[in-house]
Every structure is written in C-alpha cells, then in structure tokens.
Amino acid sequence: MDTNVNRISLTIPEADLQAIQGAMQILQDKLLPHLITLTSDDRIELPKMGDKTVAFVRKATDYARTDPALRPAFLDMDELGRDLQAVDQLGGLRRVLAPIVDGLEDSMLAAGSEAYSAALSYYQAVKVAARSRIHGAQAIADDLGQRFPGRPRTGNPQA
C-alpha cells in the first residue's frame, strides 16, 4: 500500500458538525440510560445469540408459549419477550450505526496515517538538514526526537 497516497481530505462544515453533535447528544440522552456495560469477563462468559441462533431462540420461545406444560416454572415468559424485543430494537439501531462507526474508524485511521506519514517525512527532512548543519534544524530534530515514539536514541546524536 502506497503511504504517499492522499486517501482523505476531510473538513466537516461547522453547521453539519453542530447538527451531528446535537444528534449524538440526543442518542446519549435517550439511548444510554437504557443500555448496560459488561465487563470483559462478562463478555467472555455469557452465551452469545448470533445470526445462527436467532431462529432457534424464536422457535423455542414460540414452543414455550404454545406448550406451557413443557416450560420450566422458573422461565419468565414476559422477560423473555422483552429480551427478544430488545434484541430486535437494538439490532435495528446497530445496523444503522455500524456503517457510521466503521466510517468514523476508517476515516480516523486514514487521516491519522496521513498526518503521521507527513510528520515522519518532515522529521526525516529536519534530520537531514541537521546533518548538513542548517541553522535551527538540530534543535527541531532534538525536540522531535524526544517525542518520536520509536526506539530510544543511542550513539551518534547527529544520526
């Protein structure tokens, strides 16, 4: 993949950004109070209902409703119904939000990659200028070198 390709040039107009932030505030105000947060252990331990098990869950629910003699006494059919309704509601919201979140993550990755690549190019040019003893370049190279997330500098400080 060519890292010199400009994949993204993004500027969200202020009016659009304000409208988006308003919509997100509505989501936070109206949706977050209904959601829960699981721990990492919870996520691992809970049985998962995926695309392949949805039909099983729906069919088992139908049988439990139509044939109550076989239903365990501890099974709360009202709660089961609420859980299935929640899966449907949340799934619908997730289907709408997933491409937005994916687009945000991809756009952030591309923009960050381009910014980081440009900064690395500048840093390399400054290091070359410092080796050529261009006035002020060494101070910039030293300052950026302290912030560069690469390996710690050892040996020749002109490198």
Over the stretch 95-151, which tens digit does the pLDDT of each residue have? 999 999 999 999 999 999 999 999 999 999 999 999 999 999 999 999 999 986 666
pTM: 0.73
Residue 8, SS3 per DSSP: coil
For residue 16, which phi and psi values (nearest 5 degrees)? -65, -45
Residue pair 138/130 in contact (Cβ under 8 Å)? The answer is yes
Contacts with 142 (C-beta within 8 Å, 6 or more apart), sequence order: 157
